[in-house]
Amino acid sequence: MESIVVVGASLGGLRVVENIRREGFSGRLTLVGDEPHRPYDRPPLSKEFLRGEVEADRLSLVKKSEAELSLDTRYGTRAVGLDLAARRVQLDSGEALDFDGLVIATGARPRRIDGAAGKENVFVLRTLDDARALGLALRAAKRAVVVGAGFIGLEVAASCKAMGVETTVLEAAPTPCARALHPALGDFLASFHHARGVDLRCGVSIEAFEGEGRVEAVRLASGERIACDVLVIGIGVTPNVEWLEGSGLSLENGVRCDESLRASVEGVYALGDVASFPHPLFDGERMRIEHWTTTVEQARLVAQNLVRGEAKAFEKAPLFWSDQFELKIQGVGRPSPGDEMAIVCGSFEEGRFLALFGRGGRLVGAYGFGRPAELVKARMAIEKRASFDEARASIQG
């Protein structure tokens, strides 16, 4: 291999180029990213950065400089096409980059709602520029409405409250984070937010966004109107794969990869929020994981597989955290709302606990609310394919 191109210059893209060099690849290495910024970290965008507690320069992900990595960069440049026969990536600048190895790390972008899109006080949150614009608007706002009580929506709501903005969260599902969280944990989280003054409403349906040019109020199906100065849409993301359409690469809810994160063509890999792959720990269930830690771990594996010519499977249990007010929530594995649940270590009343999830007799997931040490143990147990009973007995506090 003489040249490797990495498309997407964020967490996954930067960590993979670092690992590619660490693996000893000395050929031409190019990182292409459509944002104008050098790679920066996203988690603080809904937390400290949004609240104005840290400056943008503290978000940099760059550890070794581009020069130290002998890295060619094309920041502010979008990949617009892939020619697999010629093994070439087409850029919007007109330049084309030939590659022997290609890593796709183009992540995902927020979904929008037609009725609200394009209005002046409507925001999504994915990029540094999104966070700057939202932060500025919140500093002048009295009332915010957040649509979607997923993890990002709830983090934004907590930050809004901390900034002194009255905040309502509107969610269609009966409990927050319903796709990820068992209803009992969702109820706990809802009470936690209510107790801190967030007006969190689940099971509601939005009828219309009122106002010309700006959204003045959200009208619910019940007829109620909720006025807002700022509206934040947090209803999930779509993987960035449009530039690959028609290339012949298999796409299915992202870039379709095998267990080793290799895409449907030799020498082409995907990782991070854009990669869909069958996870060996969960009976080969195909998944796309939108977590920081998982992206970093995938970057390490992809660099190894690409440079060494190996095909090792990605076997790490998905792991994420979310900070909401004073609470650190962590999740590991692949729990689903229908799983058997056991609270070990702590209790809802205490406000700190570890919940284990079992399916078919196996430990498949855990959520820690203020329980980082025990969550690490749960992760190890999931990766060892421990039985539910065994894990309950060994992790019990």
Residue numbers at the binding site for ligand FAD (CB under 6 A):
7-13, 32-35, 42-43, 45-46, 78-79, 105-108, 125-126, 152, 240, 243, 272-274, 290-293, 295, 320-322
The DSSP bridge pattern shows strands 28-33 and 230-233 to be unpaired
Q: Write down the residue that tokens 């210059």 correspond to.
A: 9
Tokens linked to 258: 């095998």
- The least distance separating ligand FAD from the CB of residue 366, rounded to whole angstroms, comes to 15
- 320/348 with CB nearer ligand FAD: 320
CB of 4 to ligand FAD, least distance (A): 15
Indicate the DSSP class of residue 38.
Answer: P
Nearer to ligand FAD, 61 or 220 (CB): 61
For the CB of residue 318, give the shortest distance to ligand FAD in the complex, in Å.
9
Q: Select 293 or 394, whichever has its Cβ closest to ligand FAD.
A: 293
Smallest separation, CB 87 to ligand FAD (Å): 17
Amino acid, single-letter form, for residue 371: R
What pairs with residue 168 in β-bridges?
145, 199
Write down the least CB distance from residue 389 to ligand FAD, Å. Answer: 29
User: H or E stretch including 13?
Assistant: helix 11-22
User: Using CA atoms in the order 341, 342, 346, 351, what is the torsion angle rounded to 10 degrees?
Assistant: 20
At closest approach, how far in Å is the CB of 10 from ligand FAD?
3
Q: Which residue has the tokens 């056991």?
A: 342
What's the closest the beta carbon of residue 165 comes to ligand FAD, in angstroms? 17
Pick 11 or 190: Cβ nearer ligand FAD: 11
Which tokens go with 240? 């960035």
Amino acid present at 78: R
Beta bridge partners of 109: 238
Using the minimum distance from each CB to ligand FAD, give the nearer residue, 51 or 225: 51
Query: What is the crossing angle of helices 128-139 and 151-162, to 10°?
Result: 40
Q: Which is nearer to ligand FAD, 35 or 207 (CB)?
A: 35
Dihedral, 237, 240, 245, 251 alpha carbons, nearest 10: -60
Q: Residue 47: name the closest of 33, 58, 36 by CA.
A: 58
For ligand FAD, the closer CB: 129 or 310:
129
Q: Are 121 and 231 in contact (CB under 8 A)?
A: yes
- Cβ atoms of residues 395 and 368 within 8 Å: no
